[in-house]
């Protein structure tokens, strides 16, 4: 792959860099790319201010980890994969270095805040394993509630036959694991106050009239996946705020220079 000049060689075809920018612009992707570039500049500056660095040994360790993950056992396999990705070894290592630096900075800034955030917002991380059926009319919903309560029909059979949503009918009402914020507030209040196995409803909303069953309540736990998710969200929010401040300062200086 050729990085020199104003064009990129794509497997024998030359693509001008202006074409790439125009493609991103007309497909409304240029803003996102520019944001990510500015995010990287913010990360670089903040890491420098806090004295964070990534060592060659750390980069090499991550290279070996990625090779094992992608089953690139031989050097020739690695070079072939890099060619497919339009990368050379230097590009790859620079990208790895950037990601490791981002991880170090996010951990440095917010690693000690994650547990506190989780504790303060623990209710938001509780989950339910939920089944739901929605029908268009309250009279039908009340009739189904009666039939299910009297065991004339099972909840799952009723969902399969009557739910307004085709996908939910196919899955007999199965919604999966949901957080409190996945549900409408008026539904969440009732669902998280119910007992496992209890038939809930009828509950009218703008979607229709609901019947629900909680199969299992899943209390929030700060496992490694949730820790990383919270850390990523806090770091992303910080980056957005830093970028907004940067852009605001730029516009403020531009306006002052015009006066």
Q: What CATH number should be reported for the domain whose range is 124-218? A: 3.10.50.40
pLDDT tens digits along 92-139: 999 999 999 999 999 999 999 999 999 999 888 899 999 999 999 999
Q: What is the mean pLDDT of residues 38-56?
A: 96
Question: What predicted TM-score, i.e. pTM, was given to this entire model?
Answer: 0.72
Provide the pLDDT for residue 124: 87
Distance CA 109, CA 80 (A): 38
Helix (H) or strand (E) holding 59: helix 56-69
Please state, for a pLDDT cut of 70, what percent of the chain lies above it.
94
Report the b/e string of 236-245 with b at 16+ CB within 10 A.
eebbeebeee
Range with the lowest mean pLDDT among 175-184, 194-203, 241-250? 241-250
Question: Has residue 242 got a pLDDT over 50?
Answer: yes
Could you tell me which of 218, 208, 185, 188 has the C-alpha nearest to residue 200?
188
Spans of all domains in the chain:
7-111, 124-218
Whole-number pLDDT of residue 2: 47
pLDDT higher than 90, residue 257: no
């Amino acid at each position: 792959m050729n990085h020199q000049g104003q064009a990129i060689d794509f497997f024998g075809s030359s693509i001008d860099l202006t074409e790439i920018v125009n493609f991103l612009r007309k497909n409304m992707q240029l803003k996102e790319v520019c944001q990510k570039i500015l995010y990287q500049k913010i990360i670089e500056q903040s890491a420098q201010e806090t004295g964070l660095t990534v060592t060659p040994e750390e980069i090499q360790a991550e290279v070996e980890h990625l090779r094992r993950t992608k089953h690139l056992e031989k050097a020739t396999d690695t070079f072939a994969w890099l060619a497919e990705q339009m990368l050379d070894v230097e590009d790859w290592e620079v990208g790895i270095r950037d990601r490791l630096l981002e991880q170090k900075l996010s951990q440095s800034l917010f690693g000690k805040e994650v547990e506190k955030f989780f504790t303060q917002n623990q209710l938001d991380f509780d989950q339910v394993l939920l089944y739901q059926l929605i029908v268009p009319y309250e009279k039908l919903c009340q009739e189904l509630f009666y039939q299910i309560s009297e065991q004339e029909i099972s909840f799952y059979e009723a969902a399969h036959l009557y739910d307004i949503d085709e996908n939910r009918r196919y899955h007999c009402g199965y919604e999966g694991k949901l957080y409190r914020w996945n549900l409408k507030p008026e539904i969440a209040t009732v669902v998280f106050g119910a007992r496992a196995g209890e038939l809930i409803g009828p509950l009218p909303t703008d979607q229709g009239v609901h019947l629900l069953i909680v199969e299992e309540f899943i209390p929030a736990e700060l496992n490694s996946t949730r820790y990383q998710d919270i850390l990523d969200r806090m770091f992303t929010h910080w980056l957005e705020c830093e970028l907004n401040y940067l852009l605001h300062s730029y516009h403020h200086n531009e306006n002052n220079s015009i006066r």
